[in-house]
A and B are shown apart, each in its own frame.
Chain A
Amino acid sequence: MYRYDDFDRHLVAERVQSFRDQVARRLSGELTEEQFKPLRLQNGLYLQLHAYMLRIAIPYGVLGTRQLRRLAQISRRFDRGLGHFTTRQNLQLNWIRLEDAPDILDALAEVGMHAIQTSGNCIRNVTTDPYAGVAVDEIEDARIWAEVLRQWSTVHPEFSFLPRKFKIAVTAAAEDRAATAFHDIGLRLTRANGGATGFRVLVGGGQGRSPYIAQTLSEFVPQQHLLSYLEAILRVYNLHGRRDNIYKARIKILVHALGIDEMRRQVEAEWAAMDKDALDLPPGELARIRARFASRPLPLVEWQDAAIDARRRADAAFARWEKNNVRPHRSAGRAIVNVSLKEPGKVPGDANAAQMEVVADLAERYSHDEVRVTYQQSLVLPHVAVRDLPAVYDGLVAAGLATANTDLVTDIIACPGLDYCNLANARAIPVAQAIARRFAEPARAEAIGRIRLNISGCINACGHHHAGNIGILGVDKKGTEHYQITIGGSPGDDAAIGSILGPSFPAEAVPDAIEAIIDTYLSLRSKPAESFLDTVRRVGLEPFRETLYGTGRVAADAPTKEPVHV
């Protein structure tokens, strides 16, 4: 992982000092709440339904063991011993006192962490592939670029008061594991014919009440000009994005209003006028940043291991976990271990302090001190030797972290919903729990195969319901919580927005509805290897609509009504 140097440390320390001072001025009344709000948001502090929430940045989802232990400590001392990992690879603490926030930021700064720009109308924490640096299919290590973007965007003087929040994702592998098409800017590293690397730049993706798939602004921006090109996009957005209506202020609306060609013309004109030498990454800087990632080289390990074969034969639960949660690593003899935070019945993405410490201990012993956070709200041990898999598994089992469901139906993304969030229309967590319990039998989930099920408690779509193969959206229907179901969304290379099946369901009917959809898929798939998404694309929505709304089927409460379009 990236190791801070003195400059990085001082910068974060200064920011904490500056925020401590802002909190003091707020408490003394020198700052109004209106003046203070953007300042606290840019330091990760939200006011939720019941308390302040602190969103701690985990830049591009990479954590060291010391950092994870510190998060556990902080959650014990200042919160309720619990943390919630988010779809931006961050960590939220839900029960914070304003007065404690500067001390928490100090405790974070000691281990090279902060909460800068995890909220507010600025460039947010850059996300990337959780397998960056270890994936078999990658062209380059996306973490290097994510760190470049972190430094570039941190306290950027021009882009701290944008029309609205701004999310960037970068990926550098064949498979898009960072949902780049659903970001304000998605960057996909590619190699040109001559061998030089650059970025395909996507712009204007997003979810919320107006979901859009990002469009290609440039097929290839040479890597050395990435920063000036991004400056040009951000500047066009900052000057021309709408500021009169918060719901129409994201760049996706500007791109949609101008059209991608006009957007490109404006960006190119701005870019052409820029002094690129002054704006682009200085020569040597990329190498300097890459060097700060240099960790101990991974010792070569044996690929074959007799003990693990025996364990596979003797222990079906271990074999299942290995099959579902372990992925190939780019160096032979090692594996990527997904640590699911999705035990059926638990809150998706939650980990308690003791669990964080167990993962930190395992990372220290078996994964070169490194942990990743995925946008699907789970953790990853990226460097485990295959022969250590049984030991890692046993450690995870003891902590309740060995649920064998990565990318299966119970691996649900859910936002905090009405249990915490003052924007929500409906609860997301209990619905996720009920669905996960319904499919808790591992063999059943495994038979269904790879599927993405996402739940949002309101149209802001923090739970990525638009991008779910099955998406569930909480809506307020005459004061009661209802849920609208979409299918066919995809976050990947074949990005798509899900289609609404029909009228919404009350909470208690949702598990039945999901089960009916899944059963329909199972009965229609051409072969077990045909995924849910592929089946939906082949057969269309009608069989699923018939299942939910046809005679004698699962009853929506008001089948005669039009779907709630949001």
Chain B
Amino acid sequence: MSDPTPLLAPLKPAVCEARVWSPRGFIIDPWHYLDDGEQCPANGHAIVPLTRWRTESNLRNGPIVGVEVQPTDVLEADLVDIARLPLVVLVFPKFTDGRAYSTARRLRGHWGYRGEIRARGDVLLDQLPLMLGCGFDSFEIRDAATLRSLERGYTPAVARRYDPTGSRMRRSPISSRSQAALAAAE
């Protein structure tokens, strides 16, 4: 007989200070989040909420600025401008809220965005392959178990994935495979 009772385990995940990880390893993060009302430094790498960036025109000239985008933010008319920024931070309020995956793919696909896309919020080990697949490059991680795994050099890599999509991000296995099959047939 099976015991269906949920297992005893932490009810809440342990959280610690955020570290930024990329597939090349942990990185020293040059960026910092501007507090409300905090002036943007002339040479800093400052991250501001999209709403603030939209209203403060001086942020568009001079300082190196990245924007933080909530899932409720609609990126439409000003996307051309956003796509010129070096960093776009997409927020996952809960890891089950998948809107940022679509936003990342719209940025990469429609607007050919080549800057950095960073995941922030409830960023967990098992979703990293999906985020990588959608064009994220860096990950601001607070979940202690995820950080421990990454520190051990462990990633839950799913190397193979059917994906007839997104050739701009990487070679798609399905098309490279079919090309190989066609080559073999000839």
Contacts and interface: CB of A to CB of B under 8 A. Distances in A.
Nearest to A292: B181
Interface in B85-120: 95-99, 101-103, 105-106, 109-110
Contact of A157 (B161, B164, B167, B175): B161
A95 B3 CA distance: 10
A158 B102 contact: yes
A98 B145 CA distance: 21
A185 to B, nearest CB: 17
**Most chain A beta-carbon contacts within 10 A, residue among B98, B127, B133, B168:** B98
A27 interface: yes
Interface in A143-176: 151-152, 154-162
A96 B164 contact: no
A146 to B, nearest CB: 14
Given A35-B124, A243-B97, A288-B181, A279 B6 contact: no
**Most chain B beta-carbon contacts within 10 A, residue among A32, A35, A96, A279:** A35
A35 B15 CA distance: 14
B2 interface: yes
B178 interface: yes
Given A35-B124, A285-B175, A47 B6 contact: yes
A14 B158 contact: yes
A51 B162 contact: no
A11 B178 CA distance: 16
Interface in B19-40: none
A461 to B, nearest CB: 24
A32 B9 contact: yes
A326 B160 CA distance: 42
A26 B7 contact: yes
Interface of B: 1-4, 6-13, 95-99, 101-103, 105-106, 109-110, 124, 126-127, 129-134, 145, 148, 156, 158-168, 172-175, 177-179, 181-182
Contacts of B10: 29, 32
Contacts of A47: 4, 6
Interface string A235-262: 1001100010000000000000000000
A39 interface: yes
Contacts of B3: 97
Contacts of A288: 178, 181-182
Contacts of A281: 164
B162 A11 contact: yes
A282 B4 contact: no
B95 A35 contact: yes
Contacts, number: 158
Instruction: Classify the secondary structure of B's interface with A.
Output: loop
A282 B178 contact: yes
20 contacts: A26-B7, A31-B145, A35-B13, A39-B126, A51-B1, A52-B2, A157-B161, A158-B165, A159-B101, A160-B98, A161-B130, A227-B164, A238-B98, A239-B103, A278-B168, A279-B166, A281-B164, A282-B178, A285-B174, A285-B178
Contacts of B173: 7
A370 interface: no
A160 B97 CA distance: 10
B101 A278 contact: no
Given A11-B162, A51-B4, A275 B168 contact: yes
A48 B168 CA distance: 42
B87 to A, nearest CB: 21
Contacts of A243: 97, 99
B4 A235 contact: no
Contacts of B160: 7, 10-11, 14
Contacts of B132: 157
A22 B102 CA distance: 25
Contacts of B131: 157
Contacts of B175: 282, 285
Given A29-B10, A51-B4, A157 B126 contact: no
Nearest to A94: B2
B2 A151 contact: no
Nearest to B104: A158
Interface string A275-303: 10111111011001000000000000000
Contacts of A18: 126, 156, 158
Contact of A25 (B8, B102, B145): B145
B101 A158 contact: yes
Contacts of B165: 152, 156, 158, 227, 231, 278-279
**Most chain B beta-carbon contacts within 10 A, residue among A31, A38, A157, A243:** A157
B161 A30 contact: no
A151 B168 CA distance: 19
Nearest to B13: A32
A141 to B, nearest CB: 19
A97 B166 contact: no
Contacts of A25: 145
Given A26-B7, A33-B6, A38-B96, A156 B145 contact: no
B102 A285 contact: no
B162 A275 contact: no
Nearest to A236: B102
A98 B159 CA distance: 26
